[in-house]
Amino acid sequence: MKKYSILILVFISLTINFSIAQEEQPAILDDFKPSAINQPGKEFPQVNSEGRVRAQISAPEATSVKLDIGGVKYDLVKDEAGIWTGESAPQDVGFHYYQLNIDGASVPDPGALLYFGACRWGSGIEIPSDDQDIFAVKDVPHGHVHEILFPSESTQKSRRAFVYTPPGYETETSKQYPVLYLQHGYCENETSWFRQGHANLIMDNLIAEGKAKPFIIVMTYGMTNEIEFGGLRNFDITPFQTVLADELIPYVDSHFRTLANQENRAMAGLSMGGFETRLITLNKPDLFSHYGLFSGGMYKPEEIADHDQLKLIFISCGSKERPDGVKNAVNELQNQGFNAVSYISEGTAHEFHTWRRSLHQFAQLLFK
Amino acid sequence: MKKYSILILVFISLTINFSIAQEEQPAILDDFKPSAINQPGKEFPQVNSEGRVRAQISAPEATSVKLDIGGVKYDLVKDEAGIWTGESAPQDVGFHYYQLNIDGASVPDPGALLYFGACRWGSGIEIPSDDQDIFAVKDVPHGHVHEILFPSESTQKSRRAFVYTPPGYETETSKQYPVLYLQHGYCENETSWFRQGHANLIMDNLIAEGKAKPFIIVMTYGMTNEIEFGGLRNFDITPFQTVLADELIPYVDSHFRTLANQENRAMAGLSMGGFETRLITLNKPDLFSHYGLFSGGMYKPEEIADHDQLKLIFISCGSKERPDGVKNAVNELQNQGFNAVSYISEGTAHEFHTWRRSLHQFAQLLFK
């Protein structure tokens, strides 16, 4: 009997150890595929169906290589050929910024396409989502994204903006269009909304489905206080408001076939861009009639001076942010008679998939 | 006397040693400034007045960091804080691709802007030149660069192109414009001509100075045989010719206000893009009237079927390539009665500064 007891104890002990080991190092599903936004011909980085990222890089003489994503650094492991490979924990669906760390140097992954975020051009990865179809390149008419340089007296330079014109703009040459001014977040830039956000493709698809009215989108750089990347506490909206209201809008209205009035002009932004949208729309009620804040603050009813000119307030965020705050703010606005709409992006945080979905919702409500 | 002799010998000896040391490790002029194409707020890479590149990166745990530029790897040296710094030999004026190598891993420099070349997005550096003014952002009217997606039945996808429309295109809405189709080189892409080439800024400045007729420029991806990056020996022009002639040109002519005829259509390209230009212009004499080959081959008089329809042949290269070949080919064409022009870019090789200057010359001759 004693022998059996010992055997059973050993078995139990092994089982417990095995369970603990599994908890610490869960089996990783081996269905990795190259990320949809890799550089041409590159096999890595890859993503599996759990949303894990597998990075790989050749660094034969390195002693430590890490994958730095979502605020966590994951160790890669070296093989005999000097190639390092490793995986992250599962990530939320959608787009994430990340980088590699090679013996202490933080660098872009040469396998991935590059996006401006965190104040630098860095690697991006796309975790597949059920609704990624909203920004797929489909066989539908496509709008154009114009890179423009507009004169800015207030900042003494030519400033860059991107302007989306919807399909048909070039051929229906007598038609005029409403305009959405759409702002990026802190330490992003004027490329972010159409590169990682796919604003142009979201619009192409919505227009092809008859779900959105064709309109122009203008995206420019919102961090006019360029020297101070320090923080938003002492943020002064005046320099950017001047560029937008006194320089960019007149340029757009004179170079594109716009409906150049308050009724046909919207402003929206994500994160810091929402913060800017809130300040500028409140300061300049005569300029915009449709407001959108994506993960970027709230309006209080008492802040809004002119009820009649305001057509729509749209406030959104990810379910992993503060959805109750958004819903409560919108309820309060509705109770005061405003046309206010809330939207919560399920399963996402303060990242671009939340904002792609927000634009997809917001665009369907605009100028109607 | 003996004492003096010894002193003189010591002096001579020191002088010789000093001279040798100087030859082996020439003094580097310490007038380094951040490259004009650094990422926002980045101090490195830097360039000095000799055209040397100084790279710097923090990599505390690395054992070897190199600057890889112009086919040479230069060792960087580590300081106590783990920051590596080092310089290259002097580089030619203009734009160069480069990368860093950290313990065997080849990666982009996080300090520099990124450009598509060598089949990847990699770091770029700009060595100042006497004529960099030709692509400076000036206080002149600026054209727009449209990113377009055009349908391509032959390749079963939406393909990307960039279209430069000159200043005035948006406001002078009854005017029609000639078009230049402008191709990138091997392992570059449709962004190369306006990002590293600054084709749009070269045109804005020429037009403002009254030196070029305003025309449209179309830039698309020329490596239609996408799977085979192997070489040009078995290159088949048919797939790209089909995209260009049967899909892109009709799209451009139906979406932009072009003068849609042979007389007002030019084609040019750099390196492999010149190779493509030569084949397509010879195959399709009814499409183009002005031909440009920048570091990309020659035409022989006997190849050209229709004399009367051809308005201009422009052939160029850098003085560090084969300038005599270019001059001889152009002489031969001139002797046969062709309107042929040669251009040699002084002090440059098979790189983008040669091609910026070539475009600057070619554009002044077009459609006149």
pLDDT in tens, A139-170: 999 999 999 999 999 999 999 999 999 999 99
Please check whether residues A57 and A108 belong to one and the same domain. Answer: yes
> Residue B235: pLDDT above 90?
no
Mutate to test the interface with A, among B103, B106, B109, B177 (most CBs of A within 10 A): B103
pLDDT of residue B236: 86
Per-residue pLDDT band for A223 (boundaries 50, 70, 90) equals confident
| B11 domain residue, yes or no | no
Say yes or no for a CB contact (<8 Å) between A148 and B171.
Answer: no
Considering B128, B151, B174, which residue would you say is the last residue of a domain?
A: B128
| A247 domain residue, yes or no | yes
Considering A99, A128, A157, which residue would you say is the last residue of a domain?
A: A128
Of the candidates A113, A149, A163, the beta carbon closest to that of B142 is on A149
Residue of B nearest to A170 (CA): B255
Taken in order B205, B210, B211, B214, the sign of the CA dihedral is: positive
Per-residue pLDDT band for A262 (boundaries 50, 70, 90) equals very high
**Taking phi first (over 0 means left), then psi (-120 to 50 degrees means alpha), and beta for anything else, what does residue A89 get?**
beta
C-alpha A88/C-alpha A68 separation (Å) is 9
User: Which residues of chain B lie closer than 8 angstroms to A121, CB-CB?
Assistant: 39, 113-114
C-alpha A49/C-alpha A32 separation (Å) is 7
The SS3 call for residue B157 is: strand
Per-residue pLDDT band for B18 (boundaries 50, 70, 90) equals very low
| B22 domain residue, yes or no | no
Tokens of A36: 């949809």
Residue A140's identity, in one-letter code, is: V
Contact B263, B287 (CB under 8 A): no
Average pLDDT over residues A206-228: 88
| B50 domain residue, yes or no | yes
CATH number for position A330: 3.40.50.1820
> Residue A239: pLDDT above 90?
yes
Average pLDDT over residues B247-255: 98
Please check whether residues A95 and A141 belong to one and the same domain. Answer: no
First-to-last C-alpha distance (Å) of chain A:
83
pLDDT of residue B226: 53
Domain containing residue A281 = 133-363
pLDDT of residue A224: 74
> Residue B237: pLDDT above 50?
yes
A79-132 pLDDT per residue, tens: 999 999 999 999 999 999 999 999 999 999 999 999 999 999 999 999 999 999
Of the candidates B105, B108, B114, the beta carbon closest to that of A59 is on B105
Please check whether residues A112 and A159 belong to one and the same domain. Answer: no
- Closest CA of chain B from A352, distance in Å: 22
Q: Cis before residue B45, ω within 30 degrees of 0?
A: yes
Q: CB atoms < 10 A from the CB of B316, how many?
A: 28
Per-residue pLDDT band for B24 (boundaries 50, 70, 90) equals low
Of the candidates A58, A108, A158, the beta carbon closest to that of B110 is on A108
In this structure, of A103-117, B55-69, B166-180, B298-312, the range with the lowest mean pLDDT score is B298-312
Mention every residue, 6+ apart, whose C-beta is less than 8 A from residue B367.
B178, B213, B215, B264, B266, B290
Q: CB atoms < 10 A from the CB of A23, how many?
A: 8
In this structure, of A4-8, A237-241, B58-62, B136-140, the range with the lowest mean pLDDT score is A4-8
| B216 domain residue, yes or no | yes
Of the candidates B57, B114, B139, the beta carbon closest to that of A151 is on B139
pLDDT of residue B231: 59
Please check whether residues B236 and B294 belong to one and the same domain. Answer: yes
Considering A74, A105, A128, which residue would you say is the last residue of a domain?
A: A128
Say yes or no for a CB contact (<8 Å) between A105 and B102.
Answer: yes
Mutate to test the interface with A, among B63, B158, B218 (most CBs of A within 10 A): B158
Please check whether residues B45 and B160 belong to one and the same domain. Answer: no
Taken in order A283, A222, A118, B147, the sign of the CA dihedral is: positive
Average pLDDT, chain B: 92
Contact A365, A215 (CB under 8 A): no
Please check whether residues A314 and A347 belong to one and the same domain. Answer: yes
Contact B218, B245 (CB under 8 A): no
Mutate to test the interface with A, among B144, B148, B175, B254 (most CBs of A within 10 A): B144
Please check whether residues A47 and A185 belong to one and the same domain. Answer: no
pLDDT of residue B25: 63
Average pLDDT over residues A46-75: 98
| B18 domain residue, yes or no | no
Residue B266's identity, in one-letter code, is: A
Locus of tokens 């308050």: A262
Of the candidates A39, A108, A120, the beta carbon closest to that of B107 is on A108
Please check whether residues A122 and A150 belong to one and the same domain. Answer: no
Per-residue pLDDT band for B22 (boundaries 50, 70, 90) equals very low
The tally of domains found in chain B comes to: 2
pLDDT of residue B73: 98
- Closest CA of chain A from B71, distance in Å: 19
User: Which residues of chain B lie closer than 8 angstroms to A255, CB-CB?
Assistant: 144, 170-171
Please check whether residues B164 and B230 belong to one and the same domain. Answer: yes
pLDDT of residue A308: 81
Please check whether residues B138 and B59 belong to one and the same domain. Answer: no
CATH number for position A112: 2.60.40.10
> Residue B2: pLDDT above 60?
no
pLDDT of residue B224: 74
Average pLDDT over residues A172-199: 96
Please check whether residues A63 and A103 belong to one and the same domain. Answer: yes
> How buried is residue A107: exposed, middle or buried, by Cβ count under 10 Å (0-12/13-18/19+)?
buried
- Closest CA of chain B from A138, distance in Å: 8
Please check whether residues A196 and A108 belong to one and the same domain. Answer: no
Taken in order A301, A302, A306, A307, the sign of the CA dihedral is: positive
| B9 domain residue, yes or no | no
